[in-house]
């Protein structure tokens, strides 16, 4: 159990603010329609939402960048959007959030991914996705990697995050290119995976699957939750993927962190979820990977990496919609809760 003093918490967040993190992955606009439900439609057995508010927010890998920025880290977001009206909105949102646009490539062959969420009486009722999830073609991939490579070779990068949403920006070729570049520059690589590219994330520094991604990525089933079965699955992941540090998020069961030591043995810890009033789990994984990466680069222990990630991921679940972590609130919770 971890207990921090105010001085220790301040020191941790000062270290976080010194980090420069590159985020590579699928970005999107989270578009919200908020309203009130008072009746059922006469046309079909569905509720009618009388819209009273609209909002656009940065989502996907962009939400990871916002979380990092909210904590105080310097952030470089690298992704591909379309040449469309939504791209204009996306760039405006980046500007409003003080995110550097240098890593954003536009493509005439794609549209800017948008997730429309309809919220009625403070509960999500429907989501509509507008996207192209085919992989980048060779020409686009080459152009995108050149853009990333130029940034890595011109500024200091403490870690690279792959935030994979299976929308086509990340491909096996790009993964291989980035891992070679990271190895050349001795930059740790942290991954939030999805099924399509799961097996290609070999030899990364840290991988953060949720339970579904863990089982699908390994091709196994886990019908009934069991900590022993999670441990077995994570150890299989270590061996198959040659990843030294695994952070498995288990939803209401908390978080499981495991390290494979150089002698082939393992150390692991299970941290239960904190008791909270859950409103919406959207974006929690983005927050977890952001804090895990910062804690890793700040030199924190495996248990500390899991504890602060677990705390931050739970915090954002108390709000409806995708929201970034609150730095001040997180610092206060680190002092008031036993981790």
pLDDT at 121: 94
* 187 contacts 160 by C-beta, under 8 angstroms: yes
Neighbours of 223 (CB within 10 A): 7
**Is 286 marked active-site?**
yes
pLDDT of residue 50: 96
| Active-site residue identified among 102, 286, 302, 326 | 286
Q: For 2-19, how does the pLDDT look when each residue is reduced to its tens digit (9 = 90+)?
A: 889 999 999 999 999 999
CB proximity list for 228: less than 8 A, separation 6 or greater: none
319, burial (CB in 10 Å: exposed 0-12, middle 13-18, buried 19+): middle
Terminal-to-terminal C-alpha distance of the chain: 5
Within 13 Å of residue 206, how many CA atoms lie on the same side as its CB?
A: 28
**pLDDT score for 283:** 73
For 155-174, how does the pLDDT look when each residue is reduced to its tens digit (9 = 90+)? Answer: 999 999 999 999 999 999 99
Examine the pLDDT at 79 and tell me if it is beyond 80. yes
Q: Cβ distance 230 to 191 under 8 Å? A: no
**In angstroms, rounded to a whole number, what is the distance separating the alpha carbons of residues 298 and 212?**
29
pLDDT at position 320 is: 62
Task: Compute the average pLDDT of residues 181-204.
Answer: 96
Tell me: pLDDT of 338 over 80: no
pLDDT at 78 over 60: yes
* Cβ pair 148, 120 in contact under 8 A: no
213/198 Cα distance (integer angstroms): 8
pLDDT at 249 over 90: yes
Q: Residue range 97-125: average pLDDT? A: 95
**Average pLDDT in the chain:** 93
Task: For residue 306, name the pLDDT band (cuts at 50, 70, 90).
Answer: very high
What DSSP line would sit under 276-299, residue for residue?
---S--TTHHHHHHHHHHHHHHTT
**CA-atom Rg of the chain in angstroms:** 20
Q: Average pLDDT in the 290-312 region?
A: 96
DSSP SS3 for 266: strand
Domains and CATH numbers, the chain: 6-336 (3.40.1190.20)
Whether pTM exceeds 0.95 = no
Predicted local confidence at residue 20, as pLDDT: 98
Closest CA to 324 of 12, 44, 23: 23
Ranges assigned E (strand) in the chain: 20-25, 27-40, 47-60, 74-82, 104-107, 114-120, 123-130, 159-163, 189-192, 206-207, 245-249, 255-260, 266-271
Whole-number pLDDT of residue 43: 96
pLDDT of residue 317: 75
């Amino acid at each position: 159990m971890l207990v921090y003093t105010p001085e220790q918490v301040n020191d941790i967040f000062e270290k976080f603010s010194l980090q420069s993190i590159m985020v590579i992955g699928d970005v999107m606009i989270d578009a919200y329609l908020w309203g009130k439900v008072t009746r059922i439609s006469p046309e079909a057995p569905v509720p009618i939402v009388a819209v009273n508010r609209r909002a656009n927010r940065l989502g996907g890998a962009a939400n990871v960048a916002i979380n990092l920025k909210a904590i105080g880290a310097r952030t470089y977001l690298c992704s591909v959007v379309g040449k469309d009206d939504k791209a204009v909105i996306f760039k405006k949102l980046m500007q409003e959030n003080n995110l550097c646009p240098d890593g954003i490539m536009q493509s005439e062959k794609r549209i800017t991914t948008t997730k429309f969420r309809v919220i009625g009486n403070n509960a999500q009722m429907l989501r509509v996705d507008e996207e192209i999830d085919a992989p980048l073609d060779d020409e686009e991939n080459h152009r995108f990697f050149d853009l990333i490579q130029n940034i890595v070779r011109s500024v200091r990068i403490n870690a690279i995050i792959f935030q994979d949403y299976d929308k086509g920006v990340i491909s096996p070729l790009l993964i291989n290119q980035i891992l070679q570049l990271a190895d050349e520059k001795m930059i740790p690589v942290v991954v939030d995976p999805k099924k399509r590219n799961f097996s290609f994330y070999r030899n990364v520094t840290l991988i953060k699957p949720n339970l579904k991604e863990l089982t699908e990525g390994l091709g196994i089933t886990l019908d009934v939750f069991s900590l022993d079965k999670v441990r077995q699955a994570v150890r299989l992941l270590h061996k198959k993927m040659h990843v030294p540090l695994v952070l498995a998020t288990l939803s209401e069961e908390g978080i499981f962190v495991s390290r494979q030591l150089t002698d082939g043995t393992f150390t692991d810890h299970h941290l239960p979820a904190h008791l909270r009033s859950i409103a919406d789990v959207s974006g929690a994984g983005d927050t977890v990977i952001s804090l895990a990466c910062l804690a890793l680069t700040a030199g924190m222990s495996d248990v500390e990496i899991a504890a602060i990630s677990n705390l931050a991921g739970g915090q954002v679940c108390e709000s409806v919609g995708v929201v970034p972590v609150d730095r001040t609130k997180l610092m206060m919770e680190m002092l008031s809760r036993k981790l």
